[in-house]
Amino acid sequence: MKVDITLKVNGKLFQLSLPPSTTLLEALRDHLGFTGVKEGCGKGECGACTVLIDGKPINSCLMLAPQAEGKEVITIEGLSENGPTPLQKAFVEEGAVQCGYCTPGMILSLTALLNQNPSPSEEEIKEAISGNLCRCTGYLKIIQAVKRTTSGQ
């Protein structure tokens, strides 16, 4: 059995016919080609699959695609349609991208934070990425990249 759904992703509408158990992660990656959305654990523990839903970061592996109908979904591809954002530039400048697997999710979680709070404290930065695991950077460079963005360097 399949259900017809319409998803709004990065400002564009997409019509899909999918089994109702399809996760948003599967719909985005496998059916719509948004491969910037990464699959890590598949069970809500790593944050690699983070997307923004109505501006809030969520794990797309835990949400069913039909649940995202009528909501604004933003992936990393939608964030950088007009070139890298200041936060993305700061990630590169601070060496906060190593293998890069966590990076889209990190950037989206931190973008949601900065949209809400343009001058977060270090604690608030850590809290914002508490659901995003990185096995490469030790997190320090990521935190420095956010500070670089907020200080306008």
Q: Residue numbers of the site for ligand FES (CB under 6 A)?
A: 39-42, 44-49, 59, 61, 97-103, 134-137
Q: How far is the CB of 47 from ligand FES (least distance, A)?
A: 5
**Shortest spacing between CB 44 and ligand FES, in angstroms:** 5
Q: Where are the alpha helices (H) located in 14-139, listed in sequence order?
A: 24-26, 76-79, 86-93, 103-116, 122-128
Residue 64, SS3 per DSSP? strand
Q: How many Å separate Cα 141 from the centre of its chain? A: 18
The whole-angstrom separation of Cα 21 and Cα 8 is: 19
The CB-of-4 to ligand FES minimum distance in angstroms stands at 25
Q: Are 123 and 113 in contact (CB under 8 A)?
A: no
3-state secondary structure of 44: coil
Shorter beta-carbon distance to ligand FES: residue 5 or 129: 129
- Segments of the chain assigned E as strands: 3-9, 12-18, 50-53, 56-59, 72-74
Q: What is the closest distance, in whole angstroms, from the C-beta atom of residue 82 to ligand FES in the complex?
A: 24
Q: Least CB distance from residue 133 to ligand FES, whole Å?
A: 7
User: How far is residue 149's CA from residue 59's CA, in Å, rounded to a whole number?
Assistant: 25
Cβ proximity to ligand FES: between 101 and 113 the closer is 101
